[in-house]
Amino acid sequence: MGKWIALGVVLLIVLMGGGCAVTSYNGLVGASQAVDAQWGQVENVYQRRADLIPNLVETVKGAAAFEKDTFTQVAQARASVGQMKLDASSLSDPAALARFDQAQQGLTGALQRLMVVVEKYPDLKANQNFRDLQAQLEGTENRISVERMRFNEVAQTYNTRRQSFPTVIFANMMGFLPKAYFKAQAGSDVAPKVNFGNPAPSPAQ
């Protein structure tokens, strides 16, 4: 009788362990998919910005043909962003996310410099096409901040679930790595907004 009781206890432990593993796996899959989906939103808004830039630059060129250096900087920054692709499978690599973010911040800086140029051309600022593009770009910058913040939130939810007991026991065995976060310069998880009317000064070196 004692042998059967012991066998029953062992079987119960095995079943409980298996149940915990299944529950942990399913929870991690759901949380990881939420991170991947939100990353898609981040990519969408950044692509939206990249798509707006050629029309914006062409509009500015019509009134500021001599600002070639600024146009070159914007074009180079946009090209750099286009080369910096980051798929969902790389979201556990903080260095890869940092490189992606650095390229995007470079484009933000180039756009800020472009808007400084615009201040010298009152006729351009009154151009309806330019004003429409500027409004779309400003709206996109705001969406970028929102989607980055949401990405950090779902990444934090995933990481918290991954570190919770008993999920943490199975996470590494199942191949679920921690997700990286966007890191703003000031230490906040919200990206700084681009102020097109008054670009912020560059930080002191």
Which residues are CB-contacts of 166 (< 8 A; sequence separation ≥ 6)? 20, 24
Contact between 35 and 158 (Cβ < 8 Å): yes
* Whole-prediction pTM: 0.78
Q: What is the pLDDT of residue 80?
A: 94
Q: Can you name the CATH fold of 2-171? A: de novo design (two linked rop proteins) (1.20.1440)
The first and second tokens of residue 66, run together, are: 């001599």
What ranges do the domains of the chain cover? 2-171
Sign of the CA dihedral with 48 first, then 198, 75, and 122 last: positive
What span, in angstroms and rounded, lies between the C-alpha atoms of 92 and 150? Answer: 17
**Side-chain-facing half-sphere of 182: CA atoms under 13 Å:** 27
Cα-based distances in Å from 179 to 35, 39, 62:
8, 11, 45
pLDDT digits (tens, 9 = 90+) for 5-49: 655 444 544 444 455 667 778 888 999 999 999 999 999 999 999
pLDDT digits (tens, 9 = 90+) for 122-166: 888 889 999 999 999 999 999 999 999 999 999 999 999 999 888
Contact between 154 and 35 (Cβ < 8 Å): yes
The first and second tokens of residue 64, run together, are: 């500021």
What span, in angstroms and rounded, lies between the C-alpha atoms of 149 and 146? Answer: 5
> What is the phi-psi region of residue 127: left when phi exceeds 0, alpha when psi lies from -120 to 50, beta otherwise?
beta
